Structure 1
Amino acid sequence: MTVSRDLDFYFPVRELSNERVKMTPFRTSIHSSPFLAASSAHPELWANMSAGPFKTEQEFNTDFLQTMFHPDPGMVLFAIIDKTKPPSAADEEGALAGIVSYIDTSSVNLSTEIGYIVILPPFQRTHVTSNAVGLLLQYALESPSQGGLGLRRVQWNCSSMNAPSIRAAERMGFKKEGILKWHRVYHGGKDKGKVHNGREFPRGGHGEQDYARDTVILSHCWDDWEQGGRENVQTIMGRQN
């Protein structure tokens, strides 16, 4: 597969693919329009993230891609293509099923995080999430001699209130390491449909419009991968759902 060197990311970026799913670097001119068309009516997709929701393509491109991703060499966004569906405007091999990314990547510490996972409603509870995450794990944790990046740690951070995300991570072999209380503030989170951490608001200071997140930290490290993680992920990717 072709390695893209025109993206400002710490490591080589290429398409990741199997018989069901393809992960291709997100291209604004190709993927933004169909992604917003499918996601703008579902603000709940962003309820547990600091970013979003986005109502327009311009807002998504400006506030998400240009502000967050493009300037940061530790982040790269992928479009998820479901190859079991017919060709579409987004990709000749299938339908756009969502987005996912590597974030908080360190070339010094040989680590990355899988984040901003947004699976569009028609593709939820299918093979898409497990295959997308599996492909990212394979590329990150396999050795360079096996076509991977040879990283030592892949992290997964999510809201403590996002039980489906925690289950998905643990299913793919991520192990819970701890919880960061009051880790993030969702400024204006009440109006944006964010999910609060369930704790009592601090007295005084910022008002109750600014929701907060407790963050669960999970990881899948190189030794987890070598000690059965690889086989577990391959088995899950091969299942129908």
Structure 2
Amino acid sequence: MSPFDDANFCFPVQPGLLANDRVKLTLMTPTRHASAFFHATSAHPDIYAHMPSGPFATEADFVTFLQQKALADPAFLILAIIDKTQPPSAEDDEGALAGMMSFFDTSTIHLSTEIGYVVTLPPFRRTHVTTNAVGLMLQYAFTAEADGGMGLRRVQWKANSVNAASIRVAQRLGFRDEGLLRWHMVFRDGVQKGKVGNGRPLPKGSLDGDVGRDTVVLGLCWDEWEGGVRETVSELMVRTV
């Protein structure tokens, strides 16, 4: 039985394409992963400073997020990152829960998706985890459908313009800067939630506590992947400590 049998994703998922000898990506489920993930992030609300979701006040709030996104939207696939270099855990028989990543805004018509909702838990930062997890997602995205992949033409990455770490990760893995979306998002009650925005005053009549965000758009396309990015990503995955 595949861990993705319960996924409501618009593409079939072959687990073998989302694992290597150090990292595995599996369907994040409320029953197996939510409690550990919530408790690992609850002391670090800054994790959500650049994201439209979170921080989550309770474990039930995080479960609701998973249900509304992963289970209700076929364009959305939330993945738990498992570090296979660590001992087995309650969350996975092959290793420790190391974070979360997602495919979203996925289109079977336009053959595109976005990688986002990227959270690497604090103990696993600056290790092999993030590079390998994103690399596995890219391999699955650009592998032909006949070989079990998604056969996509484009993968997108959008980041808060002040989130230099997220932008560096994408650039390092071959994404190209494509532009800046000014005033792309409004974080409702962003001040209270610790959101980081563009720092510019909001228009007259905006609600107290709202925060405005500019967004950097980066993209990676199939021809760039075939033209050398695949090899670069594979080398980075092997080389990363």
The corresponding residue for 1:46 is 48
CA contact (8 A) 1:3 1:12 kept: no
Look up the equivalent residue of 2:9 and give its one-letter code: F
How far 1:66 sits from its partner (Å)?
2.0
The residue number in structure 1 matching 2:216 is: 216
- C-alpha separation in 1, matches of 2:40 and 2:3: 28
Distance 2:97 2:3 in 1: 21
Residue 110 of structure 1 aligns with which residue? 111
Q: Gaps spanning 5+ residues in structure 2: where?
A: none
- The counterpart of 2:19, out of the listed 13, 17, 20, is 17
- d(CA) in 1 for partners of 2:38, 2:102: 17
The secondary structure found in structure 1 opposite 2:98 is strand
Q: Which moved more, 1:205-214 or 1:78-87?
A: 205-214
Q: Deviations over 1:52-95 (max 9, x none)?
A: 00132101011x11223321110010000000111111111110
Alpha-carbon RMSD across the aligned residues, in angstroms, is 1.4
Deviation at 1:181, TM superposition (A): 0.4
Check the 8 A contact 2:3/2:26 in 1, yes or no. Answer: no
Partners of 2:200 and 2:224 in 1: how far apart?
A: 33
| Runs of at least 5 residues in structure 1 that lack an aligned partner in the other structure | none
Query: Could you say which residue in structure 2 is the equivalent of 1:133?
Result: 134
Pairwise mapping of residues 1-241 of structure 1 onto structure 2 (< 5 A)? 2=2, 4-15=4-15, 16-62=18-64, 64-202=65-203, 204-241=204-241
| 1:13 CA drift (Å) | 2.4
Do 1:3 and 1:13's aligned partners in 2 also have CA atoms closer than 8 Å? Answer: no
Q: Give, in whole Å, the separation in 2 of the partners of 1:148 and 1:59.
A: 32
Whether the aligned pair in 2 keeps the contact of 1:23 and 1:132 (CA below 8 Å) is: yes
Q: Alpha-carbon deviation of 1:208?
A: 4.7
Percent identity reads: 56
Q: Give the Cα separation in 2 of the matches to 1:240 and 1:104.
A: 29
Contact residue 30 and residue 90 of structure 1 kept, 8 A: yes
Distance 2:110 2:69 in 1: 21
Aligned AA for 1:163? A
Question: Structure 1 CA distance, aligned partners of 2:240 and 2:119?
Answer: 20
Indicate conservation of the 8 Å contact 1:197/1:214, yes or no: yes
Shift of 1:196: 1.4
> Over residues 100-124 of structure 1, what are the superposed CA-to-partner deviations in whole Å (9 max), with x where a residue is unaligned?
0100000110000001001100001
Q: Deviations over 1:135-171 (max 9, x none)?
A: 0000001112443211000000110010000000000
CA distance in 1, matches of 2:61, 2:14: 27
CA contact (8 A) 1:13 1:25 kept: no
CA offset at residue 3 of structure 1?
Answer: 7.3
SS of the counterpart of 1:156? strand
* Aligned residue pair count: 239
Helix, strand or coil: the match of 2:74? coil
Letter in 1 for 2:220: H
For residues 2 and 195 of structure 2, the distance between their equivalents in structure 1, rounded to whole angstroms, comes to 38
Q: TM-score, normalised by structure 1?
A: 0.95
TM-score by length of 2: 0.95
Instruction: Output the amino acid matched with 2:227.
Output: Q
SS in 1 for 2:239: coil
- The one-letter code sitting in structure 1 at the alignment partner of 2:36 is P
